């Protein structure tokens, strides 16, 4: 591909796990020209000193909208609340943005403010597109602002979308398990090796912030319900499994009918793998793939659906690149193994 | 303690993880005299060659009821179906038995035969006592045959007993997570380090054999319901967490009332720890303790209860010793950290 | 690249860790057309059922030289001794071969027979080229039989080559650490998760078979010496670190001179990374890269050199592809991240 | 044992891994009465909130010599340099002290100051006894100040003492491997789960501070030599292996003679296990045991000795209790599994 066809891009907030992986994928991407990586911490250090395995030889700079905002596209990996104002500035300059924060995921500002904080840019919410490519491919293609989903919502919504669309989800318990990279780069008691090793426990009980995001999307798809969502921390680095226990609105639906819903939804999808054995995370490590298995508990009537992703890849950074590919009319899997 | 007060004991099936740990605990127990350890594999080897950390210097022998059956007590760690006939022989000789298999856990022979296989000794079922000391202390004290609970049922029933007794469990989803020692010593693709490392997946979906055991005990306690029980394999060696999502029969019950049920049930219990943070397994590693936390999801009304144990200790071997202590009138915590 | 330019290839022995990864790399390689994967076990199963993360949709067949031998190239992943006769048959048919076994690594048949077993095809040894591309690029390019190095020798020889060439190695202690995938797919007590987890121990003490291979190559390069080589098993899946403690033949050589040797040898090498901090394995996971750091213990005069690789990639399968690229005149890094 | 026979004790610096484990062992010790636990961080928190598995229900207080110094004995777990002045105050009050820092390990103040910092209490060095009970049992019994060895020196010196005493160590390379608890409780990039998981690398190259301590003790025992000591960090929590490669001063000594030296030294030792297979750390987890295996590399003449300990137990806290037992005339293994 001729150099002239490359889009310039910057990753704002590249010192964290998600931003640095996005930088790596874009640095190696044939159609993007990664110009800048910025951060609050580690300014002046080369990214490949902090993350040698990413091999991105760029120096982290302090973000400066005048210096770094003159690009075609941006990935913003800022904390919730800090992201929206910066995204607004980028959009004002005509930059297409994929935002990794939660700031534009919730379509209802009141819900956002109930679960997070006062919203700094409520007027932008309406135009943001929820960046789950398998569900909203067309809208993403035309968007200038994409709200990249949370990692848990990515796995959960992909796992449940076929049931949600059929209006079949009367109730759902979602027991999620995540590797430690999901907790971020901050070194704390909770991410210390000795705390995590040989351990497993839930956290964010009973009100994890990904709950309203999951409920919103299930409702949009066709199943309005309140879910119980409970994440657990596991002694592994990357990988996320959601175990979804669904009480079906119509208990007479056959297992074969349920399976057909999944095949109809996903058989053509490059990054979805339907499997019959319970999905495991090792099979999707360092990929943009979501692996899904559907089971039926005949005794209780429940559907049990497992969704496995790599939280940093399909759950965050490679999904962001998938969205960027769509936004710029590129083949959807470019640069992410597709 | 004078030697005359010691009870002679044998562990049949001591080459596995559960049996060998039982052997260790009994070898170090002040009131039992571990005479024999038997096995089908590894006959002729010293147990401390196979399990150096247990430091039991006895030689594994092939089981011979005439040679090894002349003891006061026995722990039988045989596979389901193989255990019952051997237990019958031991009982006939007057030996008190704790059976680690499932053969005498289910009080209804038809349920056993539906989930396992034809029962070899159905007449013995009636006299077997279900060996959860915190619930059935008195019956265990008078028993000559105790059916040691499965590891998942131990954690689950202890976590849910206060709700079950109050008749409050209308429905329950139990998402269980276990370390690899729960899968046993057999070296297979599933227990290979490279399979388990950086992985998590469910197994035994949707009909794990511990389901009827859990349902039986909840019903005995006061809540008759069908549960969805799904275990997962985790990259850790010992440790088991059950995450129980309970739909309450009476949604108006307050969280304070629920908490009171737990304190009433467990405040005097040496081996139960009620905690407010979500219970984790690292805190109970190599102990006979079950750590329980109760939470309320106000949005859905559900109670969420976590129960954490060491699957080889409280889930199997140290619970067996706790039962033996009761059967022989010893302080319940002798030899198991009590 | 037009299809006509593709070379047909087969992987014999594709059910193991090394063979299956070679199959994956070749299945995705733009210039090779992976026609066959064979195995002794798992015949009739698709490779992606056994190794889902490799995503190779070919069915394992029993090897049949008539059916599978009509290819341009082959990777043979057979046990030592079993490999040589099969390689001979392939060569007789004009197939270019990369052999992953030890059968053609040792140039002296007596040394082979002392450490391994009677050699089945001693006449072929002379023409085999030792497949370390960074050292023997030219010879590999013209070879029809390449002996792929052992994983430990790959890391060790790359770490020590600059010193060896300068004749500086008077004595060396090599303490190696490997992830469990290095022990292979066989499920045994030694590879059981519960054995490896929270453990570390040496094995193959004091005569591991990679010793003569290391000594041979150091001698060829210019330093004839006997080394002490001791591998250890670590609780990780992929990754290998060699810690080399070298007594220098000339203790007056300065650290700067030593560093210059490394830069002269490796500065242009795509797959060698010279670093100043002690090399770690996480930075090379799933890459063809060997990461090397050189240090000087001024108190004893020793040079300390660390070499880190992924044992399955640079240590085996991606190195095999690197060799194949050279043998077929392709850019050396094609299909392996280069 | 009557209460009157108990010795009062305090642990100063109980918020870290070593101090908190010492607190646990002393809290459960039949002959010590743990009165105080102090810390700089976490003051006001109960120790069992920070370390639930230790189950010590005492509240951490800020250290106050007047309030906490009125005890029979103390364990001081302070940083190097901070320890000595506080130890001096305790001694002045007649308190017997086991100091876990390096402040009194090196008998030569100049060596201390070269590797650490200016020594705050050089006059006390002379009376400090190096606390390796297997080597200095008698001196420890009469001491009022015991310098608890470093974890690496504990394993290394025990592994090499029989050779050192025989004057056989001409040169030694010590490659050490440690679990992450050895790096302490501080949450940093280096102890973050994601940094350590699937990784191994050396640190402290080439001048780790345990080097002079090892050299001092080998010299005292009879072998004056400079050693190369290199520690590595491993993905496990507790456990430490030293792999010692020894060039023998007398290469004609037979392997049988070497073995005899070890049996003579250790056959009666409760906490030393001589084994023939390479010693591994899992077998000594949570014990006061050092497991040692001796091997001979006939090709190079070297002796290879492995020493495995739990770095927090025998490497620090249980060794401290072993020293305290000796200092107070108690059976040496009391309260530490002996």
| Chains in contact with D, where contact requires at least 3 CB pairs less than 8 Å apart | A, B, C
Q: Is the pLDDT of residue A298 over 50?
A: yes
Complex ipTM above 0.85? yes
Round the average pLDDT of chain D to a whole number and report it. Answer: 96
Q: Do C283 and A52 touch (CB under 8 A)?
A: yes
**Predicted pLDDT at D162:** 98
Tokens of D72: 């029979």
Q: Which residue of D has its CA nearest to A238?
A: D194
pLDDT value at A3 more than 70: no
Catalytic residues of A: 151
* C-beta atoms of C185 and B194 within 8 A: yes
At residue A249, the pLDDT reads 96
Cis peptide before A206 (omega within 30 of 0): yes
pLDDT of residue B139 exceeding 90, the answer is yes
Over the stretch B267-289, which tens digit does the pLDDT of each residue have?
999 999 999 999 999 999 999 99
Residue C251 neighbours by CB distance under 10 Å = 11
Answer whether residue B164 shows pLDDT above 90. Answer: yes
Subunits next to A (3 or more Cβ pairs <8 Å) are B, C, D
Q: What's the pLDDT at B274?
A: 98
Closest CA to D181 of D62, D13, D11, D20: D20
Comparing CB atoms, the residue among A179, A235, A243 nearest residue B230 is A243
pLDDT of residue B200: 98
Peptide bond into C206 cis (omega under 30): yes
CB contact A283 to C (< 8 Å): yes
DSSP assignments along B83-101, one per residue: HHHHHHHHHHTT-EEEE-S
Residue A284 predicted with pLDDT over 60: yes
Note the pLDDT tens digit of each residue in B171-229.
999 999 999 999 999 999 999 999 999 999 999 999 999 999 999 999 999 999 999 99
Pairing between β-strand B169-178 and β-strand B240-248 as defined by DSSP bridges: antiparallel
Give chain A positions within 8 Å (CB) of D191: 187, 192-194
Q: How far is C286 from chain D (nearest CA, A)?
A: 12
Q: Is D151 a catalytic residue?
A: yes
Q: CA-CA distance, D84 to D12, in Å (whole number)?
A: 12
A169 vs B41, higher pLDDT: A169
Taking all residues of chain B, what is their mean pLDDT, rounded to a whole number?
96
**Chain D residues with CB-CB distance to B198 below 8 A:** 198
Q: What is the mean pLDDT of residues A228-244?
A: 98
Out of A279, A285, A300, whose CB is closest to B201? A279
Which pLDDT score is estimated for D338? 81
B-interface mutation test, from A114, A155, A173, most B Cβ less than 10 A away = A173
**pTM reported for the whole predicted model:** 0.97
Task: Give backbone dihedrals phi and psi of C183, rounded to 5 degrees, phi first.
Answer: -85, -5
What confidence score (pLDDT) does residue A338 get? 81
Residues B193, C17: C-beta atoms closer than 8 Å: no
In the structure, what pLDDT confidence band is assigned to residue D151 with cuts at 50, 70 and 90? very high
Please name the residue ranges forming H helices in D169-279. 193-196, 210-221, 255-266
State pLDDT tens for residues B84-115.
999 999 999 999 999 999 999 999 999 999 99
Instruction: Say if A52 is an interface residue toward chain C (CB within 8 Å).
Output: yes
Q: Is D49 helix (H, G, I), strand (E, B) or coil?
A: helix
pLDDT at B338: 81
Looking at chain A, which runs of residues are DSSP E strands?
7-12, 32-38, 60-61, 73-76, 96-99, 129-130, 145-147, 169-178, 201-202, 227-233, 240-248, 272-275, 290-296, 303-309
> Any chain C CB within 8 A of the CB of A290?
no
pLDDT above 80: residue B249: yes
Indicate the Cα dihedral angle C283, C286, C290, C294, nearest 10°: 20
Mean pLDDT of A21-29: 98
pLDDT attached to residue C228 = 98
d(CA C240, CA C178): 4
pLDDT band of residue D139 (cuts 50, 70, 90) is: very high
**What pLDDT, on the 0 to 100 scale, is given for residue D1?**
38
Is B285 part of the contact surface with chain D (CB cutoff 8 Å)? Answer: yes
What letter does residue C150 receive in the DSSP assignment?
P
Catalytic choice (B15, B91, B147, B151): B151
To test the contact with chain A by mutation, choose from D186, D194, D235 the residue with the greatest count of A C-beta atoms within 10 A, namely D194
Question: Looking at beta carbons, which residues of chain B come within 8 Å of D287?
Answer: 53
Cα separation, A38 vs A24, whole angstroms: 13
In angstroms, rounded to a whole number, what is the distance separating the alpha carbons of residues D167 and D157?
A: 14
Using a CB–CB cutoff of 8 Å, tell me whether D285 touches chain B.
Answer: yes
Q: pLDDT tier at B4 (50, 70, 90 boundaries)? A: very low
CA distance A330 to C225: 57
B276 touching chain A per CB within 8 A: no
Q: Look at residue A108 and give its three-state secondary structure.
A: coil
Residue D4 reports pLDDT greater than 50: no
pLDDT of residue A36: 98
pLDDT value of position C338: 81
Measured in Å, how far apart are chain C's first and last C-alpha atoms?
17
Shortest CA gap B144–chain D (Å)? 32
CA separation for the pair A180, A157 (Å, rounded): 21
Average confidence (pLDDT) over D31-48: 97
Task: Determine the residue among C111, C173, C204 to mutate to test chain D binding: the one whose Cβ has the most chain D Cβ atoms within 10 Å.
Answer: C173
pLDDT at residue D2 is higher than 60: no
Span A76-133, pLDDT tens digits: 999 999 999 999 999 999 999 999 999 999 999 999 999 999 999 999 999 999 999 9
Active-site residue (options: D76, D129, D151, D163): D151
- Provide the pLDDT for residue C4: 46
Mean pLDDT of D93-117: 97
Give the distance from CA C318 to its chain's centroid. Answer: 8
Instruction: Indicate yes or no: CB of D280 within 8 angstroms of CB of C199.
Output: yes
Mean pLDDT of B150-158: 98
Residue D52 near chain B (CB below 8 Å)? yes
Tokens of D32: 């010590």
Q: pLDDT for C237-290, tens place per residue?
A: 999 999 999 999 999 999 999 999 999 999 999 999 999 999 999 999 999 999
Question: And the tokens for B229?
Answer: 């029980």
Question: To 5 degrees, how large is the angle CA A130–CA A134–CA A137?
Answer: 65
DSSP state of B179: -
For residue B1, the model assigns a pLDDT of 38
Chain A residues with beta carbon closer than 8 angstroms to that of B245: 173, 175, 228, 230, 245
Short-list A119, B284, D173, CA closest to C171: D173
Q: Show residues of chain C in contact with A287, CB under 8 Å.
A: 53
Please give the radius of gyration of chain A, using alpha carbons only, rounded to the nearest integer. Answer: 19
- Cis ω on the peptide bond leading into residue D206 (within 30° of 0)? yes
Chain A residues within an 8 Å CB radius of C197: 198
Nearest to C308 by CA among C261, C240, C249: C240
Interface test with C, best of B45, B194, B199 (most C CBs within 10 A): B194
DSSP D276: S
- Closest approach of chain B CAs to the CA of C179, in angstroms? 9
Q: What residues in B contact A215, CB-CB < 8 Å?
A: none
Contacts of B299 in chain A (CB under 8 A): 206-207, 211, 226, 228
Query: Has residue C2 got a pLDDT over 70?
Result: no
Reported as a single tens digit per residue, the pLDDT across C65-97 is 999 999 999 999 999 999 999 999 999 999 999
Average pLDDT in the C102-113 region? 97
In the predicted model, is pLDDT for residue A320 greater than 80?
A: yes
The token pair that represents B88 in the structure block: 């019958």
Look at residue A2 in the predicted model and tell me its pLDDT: 40
Tell me what the pLDDT averaged over chain C comes to: 97
In the numeric block, the tokens 């640190």 are attached to D203
């Amino acid at each position: 591909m001729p150099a002239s066809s490359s889009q310039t891009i910057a990753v704002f907030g590249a010192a964290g796990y998600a931003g640095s992986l996005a930088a790596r994928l874009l640095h190696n991407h044939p159609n993007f020209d990664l110009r800048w990586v910025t951060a609050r911490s580690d300014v002046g250090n080369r990214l490949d000193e902090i993350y040698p395995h990413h091999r991105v030889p760029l120096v982290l700079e302090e973000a400066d909208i005048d210096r770094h905002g003159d690009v075609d596209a941006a990935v913003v990996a800022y904390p919730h609340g800090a992201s929206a104002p910066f995204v607004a500035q980028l959009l004002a300059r005509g930059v297409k943005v994929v935002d990794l924060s939660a700031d534009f995921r919730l379509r209802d500002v009141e819900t956002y403010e109930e679960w997070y904080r006062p919203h700094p840019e409520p007027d932008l919410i309406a135009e943001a597109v929820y960046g789950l490519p398998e569900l909203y491919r067309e809208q993403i293609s035309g968007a200038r602002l994409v709200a990249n989903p949370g990692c848990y919502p990515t796995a959960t919504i992909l796992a449940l979308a076929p049931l949600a669309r059929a209006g079949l989800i009367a109730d759902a318990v979602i027991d999620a398990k995540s590797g430690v990279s999901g907790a971020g780069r901050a070194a704390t008691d909770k991410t210390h090796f000795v705390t995590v090793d040989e351990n497993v426990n839930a956290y964010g009980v009973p009100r994890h912030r990904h709950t309203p995001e999951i409920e919103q999307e299930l409702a949009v798809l066709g199943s309005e319900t309140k879910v119980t969502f409970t994440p657990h921390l596991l002694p592994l680095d990357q990988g996320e499994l959601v175990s979804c226990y669904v009480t079906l609105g119509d208990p007479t639906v056959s297992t074969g009918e349920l399976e057909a819903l999944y095949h109809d939804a996903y058989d053509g999808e490059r990054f979805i793998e339907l499997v019959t054995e319970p999905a495991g995370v090792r099979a999707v490590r360092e990929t943009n793939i979501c692996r899904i298995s559907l089971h039926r508990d005949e005794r209780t009537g429940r559907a049990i659906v497992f969704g496995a992703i790599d939280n940093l890849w399909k759950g965050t950074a490679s999904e962001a690149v998938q969205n960027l590919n769509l936004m710029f009319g590129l083949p959807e899997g470019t640069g992410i193994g597709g």
